[in-house]
Amino acid sequence: MTGAPDAAHGAVDATTAWERLLSIRTADRAVASGLVPDGAGGARWAGAATPEAVWLAERYLPLCLAGPRVAFGQLGQSLDGFIATRTGDADYVTGEEDRRHLHRLRALADAVLVGAGTAVADDPRLTVRACAGRDPVRVVLDPRGRVPRHRQVFTDGAAPTLWVVGPDAATDGVGDGVEVLALPDTAAFAPQRLLAALAARGLGRVLIEGGGVTVSRFLRARALDRLYVTVAPVLLGDGVPGLRFPGTPVMRDALRPPLRRALLGEDTLFELDLRTAAGS
């Protein structure tokens, strides 16, 4: 996605498009950045643009404009609905283009939140490396304080980390750059309350990155505005489940939120708009 030749000819290329999108949070700013309403609820570049630049604006402008408070989840799953093998191996379920997409979601977030299971199994860095952009604050939900102190989010100093624990967790031995947020009780871990606590710290745009238990809890609590699910053409048979919530007995009552689809290499991205379901 380098587009220097196109840039030389005046067309907005992918690099320029992404840099501009990173700074857009209001409709006025979108216009100032060269985007104009397309008459169908979206926007297009006012001047010439490469196909990649057009795709980036189509895909991410709605998220750029969704704040100042927005919670968006993501999962990469197999065709049969698993986000990792039964041993917890998620390296990688989806392909390279979805990894770039995930890093773009991080770059558009103030905070990226994972459950303790993911911090234990994956030892993720949660930084932005596959595209340009700032690293979000890393948030680890760990009510029992079970995530080992040597995990990279606690030791690498690459970005601030907020370790959210319950009242009985031992939190000694973490390094600089790690802030402990000790919540008083289980009720304080309710997704809406967690999001309010993050917003009070200036972290209004939150990516719920995984795993399945965590994203499902936010979904069930109607705390997600958007959900990005990437489906890879692979069958795992069993493994770590993705979304789980109390279902409906009949198909006509199933959750069918408005969605957009996109191809990411061999994978398919589903972008669900949950705002109606969330009542926000």
For binding to ligand NAP (CB under 6 A), which residues are involved? 75-76, 83-84, 88, 90, 93, 114-118, 121-122, 141, 143-144, 146, 189, 191, 209-214, 217, 240
The answer for residues whose C-beta is within 8 angstroms of residue 268's C-beta and 6 or more apart is 230, 231, 261, 262
At closest approach, how far in Å is the CB of 28 from ligand NAP?
Answer: 34
Question: Of the two residues 95 and 211, which places its CB atom closer to ligand NAP in the complex?
Answer: 211
C-beta of residue 232 within 8 angstroms of C-beta of residue 65 = no
Question: Of the two residues 9 and 144, which places its CB atom closer to ligand NAP in the complex?
Answer: 144
Nearest 5°: phi and psi at 93? -75, -45
Instruction: Give helix then strand counts, H and E, for the chain.
Output: 10, 13
At closest approach, how far in Å is the CB of 147 from ligand NAP?
Answer: 8
* Residue 256 CA to its chain's centroid (Å): 21
At closest approach, how far in Å is the CB of 268 from ligand NAP?
Answer: 14
State in Å, rounded, how far the first CA of the chain is from the last one: 36
At closest approach, how far in Å is the CB of 231 from ligand NAP?
Answer: 11
Question: Of the two residues 65 and 97, which places its CB atom closer to ligand NAP in the complex?
Answer: 97
Element holding 226 (H helix, E strand): strand 226-232
Element holding 28 (H helix, E strand): helix 27-32
At closest approach, how far in Å is the CB of 70 from ligand NAP?
Answer: 18
Question: Of the two residues 31 and 171, which places its CB atom closer to ligand NAP in the complex?
Answer: 171
Question: Of the two residues 146 and 256, which places its CB atom closer to ligand NAP in the complex?
Answer: 146
- Bridge partners (DSSP) of residue 268 are 231, 263
Of 165, 139, 169, give the one whose Cα is nearest residue 153.
Answer: 139
The CB-based long-range contact list for 216-219 (8 Å cut-off, 24+ gap) reads 216/242, 216/243, 216/244, 216/245, 217/191, 218/71, 218/73, 218/191, 219/73, 219/243, 219/245, 219/274
At closest approach, how far in Å is the CB of 18 from ligand NAP?
Answer: 22
At closest approach, how far in Å is the CB of 223 from ligand NAP?
Answer: 9
**CA-CA distance, 229 to 232, in Å (whole number)?**
10
Question: Of the two residues 95 and 117, which places its CB atom closer to ligand NAP in the complex?
Answer: 117
Question: Of the two residues 150 and 252, which places its CB atom closer to ligand NAP in the complex?
Answer: 150
